[in-house]
Structures are given as structure tokens and as C-alpha cells.
Structure 1
Amino acid sequence: MPAAALAGDGVEFLTQDNANILWTLVAAILVMFMQAGFGCVEAGFTRAKSAGNIMMKNFLDFAAGSVIFFLFGFALMFGTDIGGFIGGSGFALGGVAEADLPWTYTFWFFQSVFAATAATIVSGGMAERTKFSNYVLVSIIVTGLIYPISGHWAWGSLWLGDAGAGWLEGLGFNDFAGSSVVHSVGGWLALAGAMALGPRVGKYTEDGKAKAIPGHNIPLAGLGVFILWFGWFGFNPGSTTTADNTIGLIAMNTSLAAAAGVLGAMCISWLRFGKPDISMTMNGALAGLVGITAPCATVTPGSSILIGLIAGVLVVLSIEFIDKVLKVDDPVGAVSVHGVCGAWGTISCGLFNVGDGLFMGGGFSLLGVQLLGAGAFFLWAFGGGYIMFAVVKGLFGLRVSKEDELKGLDVAEHGSESYNGFQLFTNE
């Protein structure tokens, strides 16, 4: 919503304007709490000796990301359009009329927690072997440059209206709450980072066979998934930035897709492995949530179930493919959950959107735009990310030494243990 729409007479806000601000702030606070969910999931799915390092990176992503997004990222993402590809005004919220500040402050806060989410996704795919000092630089570049530029393509008009519209918006691209803008960007960056780092010590045998490295605390990961599910009711319904009568449908679609994702992942893992796998089922919930994020406001509840179910199946197959065929070590499944299922959610708009989706009588027009958008986000995030990681790796180094990795990043990078006196560490 443009700031001018909430300016009123410049003195008093209407009741609806105040309701919009309140709703958007509550939603932003819910999304901020998702940082705790990401921290729990990532720490639980990895080994105890690096759990503190995972939490440090989540704190860093939110803290550094907020400051950098305030100084640079917000303007690049939502400022006055330059050729459809980048914004160019409002650095550090400069130049905003006084009457527009209440909404601008609110809108900035809501968007800042989205930027931090995109960065946090990256940390999961790079877990247990990344130098913390150089990850700081990665986090800054993601929230200050990579995420905002592609975000402008799809969401540039949300602050200043048509003056900030990006090129994908002009084509009619749909991504209501960020399947591609947030999740695929984070997922494809995680893929680039995992490839640049290489696998953890002991992940693959000499003949290339993948070995499981179990997480140390599945209940903690489960708590994280439920926190994320809870926070997603800020992520998706909050993206209305308006307290209106669409919020209930969006919340319903969000939860149905997550539930269907659980069932899809549980069933396919049961069929493939002989038992319903716990970690795969948890990732199924997240897959359903990521998948419904783009179409949550534009599909029926029945379609949301199907979208989530397919996402739950996709995430299991994708995790296996990336691990065993591509031989890319992604400790938490970040690439599959956010990259692959984010792309699926984006494409599903072209299939299930009421009125213009292919399966809803709308033809191929929207589907073509959605495919183009999903591909553009992949090329930008993976391609730009790979260049970023290659430069950081070449100039400063990206990976810790083998000795430090075996010791665990908590001790090697931060000088303390997460479970002092309670946990026996192994180097396997």
C-alpha cells in the first residue's frame, strides 16, 4: 500500500488506517518470531557441537540484516523505479514526507523481517563448516543487495505505487507473500553456498555414497517447525498490510497447505524408507507453507490442500536427489524446502489461481509469466550467489579448517560449548 494512501488529511488517521498499522505490526512481530523457529530447526537438525554457531548466525542475520535493510536494502527494493530492475530513492528512509512516516515506519519494519528471513535460510544450507567472520559479509550482501534487487522486480510498487513498479509486476507476475521473492531467493543462495563450501567431513564415502549425519535434537527441531507454522500466520495474512476480510481465507489456506505438506511428506517417506521419517515429515510442513506462500490469497482451500500435498512429496524427492545425485551437502534441507518448493508455489499460481490459473479456466498466459519469474529468481539468486561466494572464498576464505570442523564450530569459532557438562561430542 503506498504511503500516500494512509496520509489522510496529514493530521489524523482514519480508523481503518490505524487498524492497518496495528495489523501489519502484529504480523511483523509474528514473522520476527520465526527467527526463533529457524534457529531451533537448524540447530536441531545439525550436530550439538555447532548448535551455538547456528544460533549466532540467526542473531546476526536479523541484527545486521535490519540495519543494512534500513540503510540500503529498503530503498533498492521499494524506491522509485529505475528501468524496472532496481529502486533508487529513500535510503535510510530519507525524503519521506512527515505525514507518511507512520505508515513508512510500519511498512519498513514488516519488510525488514522478510529480508532477515531470506538471509537466515542461507545459513542452514551452509551449516557446520562456514567461517563465522566471513558469513557476516555474506549476510550483509544478501540483505543489502541480492534480496532487495530481485524483490523490487515483483514487489516494487508496494510502497510508492506505480512509481516503484518492477518489471515482473508489469507482466502480471503473482507472488503474494514471497514463495520466490523470499524463499526461493534464500534457497538458491543456500545451494550456491553449499556448493562453494563442499560437503562436511565424513558426509560422503570414498566411492561417493552419501552418509546420514543425524541431527542432535529432533524435539528442538519439531518445536522450531511449530514456531514457524505459527509465525507464518503473520507472513501470509500479514502481507495484505490491510485489516480486511481476506485475512481469514489466507490463514485457512496457509494452515491447510502446511497440514497437507505433513501428510504428503510422511506418506512418501513411509513408502520409500519403510517408516514415516520424522525429519522429512517436519520438512513437509515447511514445504507446504513455502508452497502456499505465493498463491495463499488467490486460490481456493481445496487447491491449497493439493498445493501443500505436492510440496510435501516434492521436498522428500528433492532432498534425496540433492543429497545422493548432485552430492550437495545441505544439512537441513534448505534448498529443497525453500528453493524447490518456493518455485513450485510460484508456478502453482499459474495453475490454480481463481479466474486465470490454467486448471481454473484461465489458459496458459499467467502460467508463462510465473515460469518466467521462477526462472528469473533462480538465475539471479543462484548465479549472483555463486559469484558472491566465489569472491568471498577467493579473497577471505569461506570454510573453517578440518581440525576446527571436527572440533565443532561452537568451540572453534566462539570459544564455548552449547551443552557444557551435558554432551559428549564425537567427530563422526
Structure 2
Amino acid sequence: MATSLTCSPTHLQSLLANTTDSSAAAEYICGQFEAVSNKFIDTSYAVDNTYLLFSAYLVFAMQLGFAMLCAGSVRAKNTMNIMLTNVLDAATGGIFYYLFGFAFSYGSPSNGFIGSHFFGLEKFPAPSFDYGYFLYQWAFAIAAAGITSGSIAERTQFVAYLIYSSFLTGLVYPIVSHWFWSSDGWGSASRSENLLFGSGVIDFAGSGVVHLVGAVAGFWGAFIEGPRVGRFDHEGKPVAMRGHSGTLVVLGTFLLWFGWYGFNPGSFITILKTYNGTSGSYYGQWSAVGRTAVTTTLAGCSAALTTLFSKRLLSGHWNVTDVCNGLLGGFAAVTSGCAVVDPWAAILCGFVAAWVLIGCNILAERFRYDDPLEAAQLHGGCGSWGIIFTALFAKKEYVNEVYPGVANRPYGLVMGGGGKLLAAHVVQILVISGWVSVTMGIVFLVLHKLKLLRISPEEEMAGLDVTSHGGLAYVYHEELELPQKHAFGMRTDASAV
């Protein structure tokens, strides 16, 4: 926010005492200063809101990334199904987040558990929130739903997607975001007093709030449904069921990478802000935004390279799908601490995230858990590591800049800040896992009991595109045409081409 310009007519009158109308001159000059000051204030609002809207567009573009990644990771006979679910995650989530979700998340003033204002964007915009903020937070809510849809792909009834997506974006996710992101939330680092363990939870862009929520919901859906037909043989050994398009997987990964620059740096919400009250300096919130983009990038790169060589040693192959998942695991991990860690720490974060994902996938196969997108392992395992990572490596200087106003706020354990932040982050992992397990676990269990969750084995073998969506996503064979006689008397038919 630009500093207001002020002047006093009394002071100017003494300077203009010899003029015929010093009072009018003083009023005029001060009025000009006030007009200039208001223009600076208007400009700062416009700059910050433009930045936030642009970030919202980037996060929304991640939905296309999810759609392409999911489509490439499933078999061709389920392509239309998984793409339609991604479209409806956004559409259904938009309506329910508008009606209930935003109010439950940010409806302040409220209690520490749930918001209570702005249902249906009533009394909007307000001094605290404008429409761009709603759009940005909606894009986050549907990202959580997109994570869940990947876990239950290729075997779920279409109506189940509509039900769980509405419940997740309208109630379950908003309450978690209220806990850790609203200024009223009981675990939020933005509270002005009564901070959890004196620090609150520093989950800057949502390793817990978004990634762990979507992962736990997806875990229960996939667990209750059981593995896909043929995923494990009669001895319980895993059978590879590879996605049909590495091209779509890579396309989706790059789109998600691009969108993550709105997801992480955009979580500052504003960009035109000085630090330490010093104007005219090259260093301010704009620098922190750039640093966050750098830490995000380095964590993903580190995880991708670690996965590349690790999987080469473990399986003997250079596997592009594994590398893409490792890259995304690095992003999911650094999302929590991206604004409060140094670039070197982000590289370490990505390195460990890659091994966390590999380990989670080994455990999933051992316990016959089937997730076509590795979504629960990636977003849950790497997201949880990211929460712990932040509690270990958050830097004091950055923490005080991003979360000002609290004296002696705890920071990373490894950086000398003690264990209070780590304690708060362990609490976050436990309460998110418990809350989402109870709520979404019940939803999926009820759907299962009502026979609304899983399709029949016959439908699964045929593919959801044929049984539920009227046809395949791809045309494999051209219809044979009748023989045609060309001008030169030569005969051709479609089968010969």
C-alpha cells in the first residue's frame, strides 16, 4: 500500500502569510496532495487485484493440467470419463463454493472452527475481500477435488463423482482452509493472538490444506472401492496397468508446473508491499514472490532428477511417467514452506520428496492399494513431508516478513527456532487426516452401501467411455467406404489406404 501524503493548512498558511488569501491557497494545495494520495491508493489496489486475478487464472489452468495428466494415466477406454470428471469438479465446485464454501472458509468474524458470513457472496465486495479473492480461493478448492478424482479413476460410478465433489468443495475443504488460513482459524499463523504453540501453522500455499485433504479423501475412496480388476493377480502380485498416453502425461505435467507459479507465489495475495516500512528499496514483497517461484522450481527439478536416477537403479528404465510424478511430488512438498525457506533448502525438500513418493508406492503395492494416478501417495506422502520440512527449515527472517506482528515467533527447528513450529505442524497433519477420514470416509462408505460407488466388473472391463459416456474418446477404425472409380479408371477402397 502506498503511503498517504499529508499536509496541514495551518503550516502552509504561515508560509503564505503575505498572500491575499493564504487560507484558500493552503486548502487548494492540500486538496491536490490528497488527490495524488488517493490515486496512489487506487493504483495499489489495482496492482494487487490484478496480480491476484492473474494468479487465479494460473491456478485455474492447473485444471487443464489435471485433466491431461489423468487422461494420459488411465487406459484409453476411460479417457472421456476422467476428462468429464475434471470438468465437473470445476463446475460443481464453483456452485457449491459460491453457496457455502467461501463463507465456511473466510466468513469473518467467526469462531475458530467455521466461518459464518458471505454465503452466496452476500455483501460482497467488502473491505476485507474483493471478487478476485473469491475466484482465487475457488481455484484452490477445485484443485483438492481434482486430486481425489485421480485416486478413484477407472472404476467409479459417475454419480459418485458429483456427490463427493459437492461435499468436498462445499464443506470438508472449506473448514480445513478456515482452520489454517483464515485470520479467525484456530491453527492459523495469521491470528493476532492465541497462536497454536505460539507460532500457528505455516502452511503457506497448502501442502496440508489442499494436497493432504485431497489425498486423504482419495485414499478412502480408493480403499473402499478396492483395486481395479486385474491390478493384482491371484497371488497378490501387482500387474502393471499403464496409462495409454505418455504424451498427455507430459503435457499435463508442464501445465501443472506453469500453474504452480500462481499456486505458490500467488498465495501472497498482494505484491505491492514494502518490508520493514522502507519505501524506495529494491527489496520488498515482490522479491519474496520471486524467491517463492525459485524455491518452487528448484524443489520440482530436484525431485525429478532424483526420481530419474533412482527409478533407473530400481527398475532399469528411464521412465517419463515416474519422472513427471516425482516432479509433481517435489512441488506438492515445497508448497507449504515455499515462501519461508532458502533455495538450497528447497533442493533438499525435492530430493527427500522423491524418495517419499517411491516409498509410498512400494507400500501401496505391498498392501494391494490401487491408485491409478498415485495421487494419495504423491499428494499425501509428499504433502505431509512438506509440512514437516517447513517446520524444520523455515528461516526466521522470512517468517517475520511473511507473518509480521508477532514477537519471537518460532521458526524452523534446524534453523535454530526450536520445536514449537514442528509441534504445530504435527497437529495439522493429525487433525486434517482425522477430519477428512471421518467426513469423506463416511461419504464413500455410504455410497458403497447404496451401491452408488463402484461400477460392475463387466462395465469396468468394457470401459466407462462405452458404458457411461456413449462412445470412445478416440476413433480407432475408419468406416469402410464403398469402392470409388477415379478419373483414370483406377479402383481404390478405404481398407487399402
Question: 1:168 touches 1:373 (CA, 8 Å); kept in 2?
Answer: no
In the alignment, does 2:145 pair up with 1:104? no
Distance 1:12 1:354, change over 3 A: closer
Residue range with higher mean Cα deviation, 313-322 or 16-25: 313-322
C-alpha distance in structure 2 between counterparts of 1:100 and 1:256, whole Å: 37
Q: What do the CA deviations read for 1:228-282 (whole angstroms, capped 9, x no partner)?
A: 0011000000000112321100000010111011012112212211223222111
The offset of 1:143, in angstroms, is 0.3
Does residue 364 of the first structure (1) align with residue 419 of the second (2)?
yes
Task: Using the TM superposition, give the Cα deviation of residue 86 of structure 1 relative to its aligned residue in structure 2, in angstroms.
Answer: 1.0
- Cα deviation, residue 392, structure 1: 1.8
- Alignment-derived partner of residue 164 in structure 2: 138
Answering whether residue 63 of structure 2 is matched by residue 21 of structure 1, we say: no
For residues 87 and 99 of structure 1, what CA distance do their matches in structure 2 show? 15
Letter in 2 for 1:320: I
Of residues 254, 262, 276, the one that matches 2:296 is 254
TM-score, normalised via structure 2 length? 0.79
- CA displacement at 1:94 relative to structure 2: 1.1
Report the equivalent of 2:176. Answer: 150
Q: Which has the higher helix share?
A: 1
Q: How many residues align?
A: 407
Instruction: Give 1:95 deviation, angstroms.
Output: 2.8
8 A contact 1:10–1:99 mirrored in 2: no
Higher RCO by CA contacts (8 Å cutoff, separation 6 or greater): 1
Q: Does 1:293 align with 2:342?
A: no
Q: Kindly indicate whether residue 465 of structure 2 is the aligned counterpart of residue 410 of structure 1.
A: yes
Secondary structure in 1 matching 2:130: helix
Q: Deviations over 1:105-153 (max 9, x none)?
A: 0100000000000001001000000000221111100100111111111
Aligned to 1:338: 379
1:94 matched to 2:122? The reply is yes
Cα distance between partner residues in 2 of 1:150 and 1:329 = 26
Evaluate the alpha carbon distance shift between residue 259 and residue 416 of structure 1 in structure 2; reply closer, same or farther with a 3 A threshold.
same
Rounded to whole Å, the distance in 1 between the matches of 2:420 and 2:40 is 44
Contact 2:303/2:352 (8 A) holds in 1: yes
Per mean C-alpha deviation after superposition, the further-off stretch among 103-112 and 122-131 is: 103-112
Distance 1:358 1:223 in 2: 38
The one-letter code sitting in structure 2 at the alignment partner of 1:346 is I
**Is 1:32 aligned to residue 52 of structure 2?**
no
- 1:378-411 superposed Cα distances (whole Å, 9 cap, x missing partner): 1112332211100122235200111111111111
Structure 1 residues without counterparts, runs of 5 or longer: 2-8, 158-163, 424-428
Tell me, yes or no, if structure 1 residue 116 matches structure 2 residue 160: no
Cα distance in 1, alignment partners of residues 232 and 148 from structure 2? 22
Equivalent position SS for 2:414: helix
Partners of 1:280 and 1:316 within 8 A in 2: no
* Paired position in structure 1 for 2:313: 271
- Rg (Cα) greater in structure: 2
Conserved in 2, the CA contact under 8 Å of 1:85 and 1:153? yes
Residue 155 of structure 1: CA displacement?
0.7
* RMSD value, Cα: 1.9
Q: Check the 8 A contact 2:81/2:469 in 1, yes or no.
A: yes
Give the aligned partner of residue 395 of structure 1.
450
Map 1:207-222 to 2 at 5 A: 207-222=235-250
Q: Which moved more, 1:388-397 or 1:107-116?
A: 388-397
- The one of 201, 204, 215 equivalent to 1:187 is 215
Q: For residue 36 of structure 1, report the CA deviation from its aligned partner.
A: 0.7
| 1:128–1:302 distance in 2 versus 1, CA, 3 Å | same
* Contact 2:227–2:369 (CA under 8 A) maintained in structure 1: yes
Distance 1:81 1:188 in 2: 29
- Residue segments in structure 2 that go unaligned for 5+ positions in a row: 2-36, 190-194, 272-284, 397-410, 479-497
TM-score of the two chains, using structure 1 as the length reference:
0.92
1:282 aligned to 324, 328, 345, which one? 324
Q: Which amino acid is the alignment partner of residue 314 of structure 1?
A: V
Counterparts in 2 of 1:10 and 1:336: CA distance versus 1, 3 Å:
farther
Q: Which amino acid aligns with 2:207?
A: S
Mean CA deviation greater in 372-381 or 225-234: 372-381
CA-CA distance at 1:59 after TM superposition: 0.2
CA deviation profile, 1:302-346 (whole Å, cap 9, x unmatched): 000100111112112211211x22211000100111111111111
Given that residues 231 and 240 in structure 2 are in contact (C-alpha distance below 8 angstroms), is that contact kept between their aligned partners in structure 1?
yes
Cα separation, 2, equivalents of 1:190 and 1:422: 36
Structure 1 vs Structure 2: percent identity of aligned residues?
Answer: 40
State the distance in 2 between where 1:133 and 1:380 align: 23
Q: CA deviation at 1:179?
A: 0.4
